[in-house]
Amino acid sequence: MKHYRKELWFETKQRRQLLNITPTVRDCLRESGIREGLLLCNAMHITASVFINDDEAGLHQDFETWLERLAPEKPYSQYRHNGFEDNADAHLKRTIMGREVVVAVTGGELDLGPWEQLFYGEFDGKRKKRVLVKIIGE
């Protein structure tokens, strides 16, 4: 069985931002040479997420609105964690959106459904953070 590991680095210009990382992850898969197996892609920071959904601007705005309703950024004083930092909402948003995805690899391609794309979700940005791509298979 072959294995492949690569760290991707992202630094967003905004505090909260969604990045479509599907092309980058596809490049990793091609680089790996693995044709059949599983691909794990996970955020390696506790205020960022990797998830699968549609790449549609209205939906992205809906995520922002929904997440802000569930875990509003302000007032900072509403969170105990914010005694040290101002990012408690980002931790909660990451928990809601998830840490990682696992995608089947079939015939050297990501085995995604119609409209499915991989996203890096940043909830406390403006600094460099890592995403791990780990692929196992043959």
Which residues of the chain are under the pLDDT cut of 50? none
pLDDT at position 83 is 86
Q: How is the chain split into domains, by residue range?
A: 2-137
28-68 tens-digit pLDDT: 999 999 999 999 999 999 999 999 999 999 999 999 999 99
Q: Which two tokens stand for residue 107?
A: 């015939």
29 touches 105 (CB < 8 A): yes
Which fold is adopted by the domain 2-137?
Jelly Rolls (2.60.120)
Contact 30, 108 (CB under 8 A): yes
Segment 58-66 long-range contacts (CB within 8 Å, at least 24 positions apart): 60/18, 63/18, 63/97, 63/121, 64/16
Calpha distance 86→73 (Å, rounded): 8
| Per-residue model confidence (pLDDT) at position 62 | 98
Q: Please give the pLDDT value at position 84.
A: 79
